[in-house]
A = this chain, B = another copy of it.
């Protein structure tokens, strides 16, 4: 009963349609997303990991990049993001960097796990102490790396983000 839909349900419906398109067209997994500013869709994305050999091409990432390109900004202040599934940590990180204001999700991370996607495991890994993670991480050349941070802080003209 579409005439009774809220605005949020309408925008989510578009994200869900993109998720269906992604699998119909063999672009990638069943995920779609739209970015909304002042009630207008300014960016769209669907998963295209497998079709473009890009593990970062999740629906939300593609939508964020599309929206930023369309508004010529690396920030999405006052924007809502609608995504057919709860963002994985990568996508949630991107949403924070873009400084969106509100996230609407369709499926939850548990729904994603039930459908065979690793998002729930990934939250566990990323929030675990470094020494307990599956991918080992170690420090090399910290002093040399830190010198560039000092150079950055000494630089007068720079675009902060």
Contacts and interface: CB of A to CB of B under 8 A. Distances in A.
Interface of A: 6, 8-9, 12-13, 15-16, 19-20, 23, 26, 28-30, 49-51, 53-56, 61, 64-65, 68-69, 72-76, 82, 84-86, 88-98, 100-108, 111-112, 114-116, 118, 122-123, 125-127, 135-142, 144-146, 148-149, 151-153, 155, 157-161
Contacts of A140: 6, 8-9, 12, 82, 104-106
Given A64-B55, A82-B140, A161 B89 contact: no
Contacts of A73: 53
A111 to B, nearest CB: 6
B135 A100 contact: yes
Contact of A139 (B76, B98, B106): B106
A147 B108 CA distance: 13
Contacts of A51: 159
Copies in the complex: 2
A104 to B, nearest CB: 5
A97 B135 contact: no
Contact of A16 (B15, B100, B148): B148
A82 B2 CA distance: 50
A125 to B, nearest CB: 6
Given A19-B145, A148-B23, A74 B90 contact: no
B161 A20 contact: no
A37 B123 CA distance: 26
Contacts of A16: 141, 144-145, 148
